Chains A and B, each alone.
Chain A
């Protein structure tokens, strides 16, 4: 944003354009400064985690930067904690949970958005109600329930314990998404001879892909990171998910911060990849869904 050359004598109009440009430059700079300050605030804790991961375990608060970078913390944690196994466990639980939720929630969300039927409000609020249950309140009932299914210490059981609440949230989100799609599409499909199911499957579902991506991201994040259920329902070391395995570094009286931080960073990689892969869809999904909130 170069300002006009000062050599030419400025006319009145030039000066106004000049002032306008200055104002624009100033505003732009201000915006960038604000945005960068926020980046610093948002990134500081994460940067700190990264630095801690490669520090010596006794200099955590001592120095801003590590005196020597210990990359070996990563392989140490990788092998000591048997990461491949736990990553596979988490992957299984997350994909099963997310898959089931998509399967269950999509048609229901569609029906809440597209059809008018008696009792719709009541059923819908029952769904929302499930979303509001504090998980710690049903920890014990859920434990008893899984026990009755013989699914304690089972990754499938753990996934099932997430499906209820997850489905409710997905219905809430996807319903608003389906609402935003023009209903003329359905009418057109019907004229072409589609039945209700075909209208859903061939007309609306392809358009709903961003909505599905949104559910996938949010639910994957939640399931991958979940801590309370996975720690309580899974006790055998071989079946632990990544998050609870990493927490072995947090002892009763002392914490191995370097192991914790490097373990967490390894555990974050798959989620970051999922986010990067889906973010484009995710953003359009959230808009469309939210517009009719």
Chain B
């Protein structure tokens, strides 16, 4: 960094100042998160139902996990959800933001309208969509029938075949406005003359999009992809409220599966807290690895603007 590059070597000052800046946050994180997180890691090596004293299990929970067919099912659904939401929640908002940025009137109104679903809590949107998806007389199937598209009606959440696409739809619906606002803001920062130069060179809209827009805002795209990935791997609230991972684990993700093991779907009397926490550790490791890879890939490709980290 500029102001430090002049200094010949590390000294106390170069460590002390940033340490002072970071200390409050670091301390808060240690105090508020480290204790619960360390507890969680220890718990993953124990068997505990919360009622009787815990017993040491060693790697027992992890070994059991490796042999648990439902765990692999949940892992697959998590991957499905993460990949689809990351693709759709990056591509669609980017395209729509480009439309909004094409100089049309009223883009502010559209942006505000698109942002409204973001304001609703995940739990509420889950409840709302569970009503909308009702297969017999729910608003969506009714609307399809009214439009003469009766053959497109689905069982939505009720069928193992359509439940995962349905929860992806809900996620895209809710997140579109959020990522759109990010992309729109980024697009506004792209210098106009870049587009003008491309237009003079005879580039059409598509080639301007791919040759000017995408490379210029690549860091933003990376940011959105990382955020989407982390949220995808962690996904829990909406799915839990809509289906509780059902029917019969057809929409179970790692997040809902660990919850149902820890607390029971709706009525289980025994909590397997150690086993549930072992799944949580897997979730944590997956997100950490995925986002480190993404950040590193993004950095290598974009060395100029990414010298920082």
Contacts and interface: CB of A to CB of B under 8 A. Distances in A.
Interface in B153-211: 173, 176-177, 181-182, 184-186, 188-189
A57 to B, nearest CB: 13
B1 A114 contact: yes
Given A133-B284, A290-B223, A105 B25 contact: yes
Interface in B17-38: 17-19, 21-22, 24-26, 28-29, 32-33, 35-37
Contact of A112 (B22, B131, B279, B284): B22
B113 A286 contact: no
B137 A61 contact: yes
A79 interface: no
Interface stretch (B64-72, B82-90, B94-102): B94-102
B55 interface: no
Contacts of A228: 237
A291 B3 contact: no
B18 A115 contact: yes
Nearest to A275: B119
Interface residues of B, number: 98
A128 interface: yes
Given A34-B99, A112-B22, A186-B3, A136 B220 contact: no
A137 B276 contact: yes
Contact of A286 (B120, B134, B185, B287): B185
Nearest to B43: A141
Contact of B15 (A49, A114, A117, A227): A117
Given A48-B132, A260-B127, A292-B308, A41 B173 contact: yes
Nearest to A160: B32
Contacts of A259: none
Interface in A28-80: 28, 31-32, 34-35, 38-39, 41-46, 48-49, 60-61
Interface in B41-70: 43, 50
Interface string B2-23: 1110000010001101110110
A224 B125 CA distance: 14
Given A42-B173, A183-B3, A282-B181, A164 B222 contact: no
Interface in B225-274: 226, 230, 233-234, 236-237, 254-255, 258-259, 262, 273
The 5 closest A-B pairs by CB, nearest first: A225-B121, A137-B280, A293-B223, A287-B185, A164-B33
5 contacts: A45-B117, A61-B137, A140-B262, A164-B29, A268-B119
Interface of B: 1-4, 10, 14-15, 17-19, 21-22, 24-26, 28-29, 32-33, 35-37, 39-40, 43, 50, 96, 99-100, 102, 104, 110, 112-125, 127-129, 131-132, 134, 137-139, 173, 176-177, 181-182, 184-186, 188-189, 217, 219-220, 222-224, 226, 230, 233-234, 236-237, 254-255, 258-259, 262, 273, 276-277, 279-280, 283-284, 287-288, 291-292, 298, 305-306, 308-309
Interface of A: 28, 31-32, 34-35, 38-39, 41-46, 48-49, 60-61, 100, 103-105, 107-108, 110-118, 120-121, 123-142, 144-145, 160-161, 163-165, 167-168, 171, 176, 179, 183-184, 186-187, 190, 196, 200, 221, 224-228, 243, 250, 257, 260, 264, 268, 271-272, 275-276, 279, 282-284, 286-288, 290-293
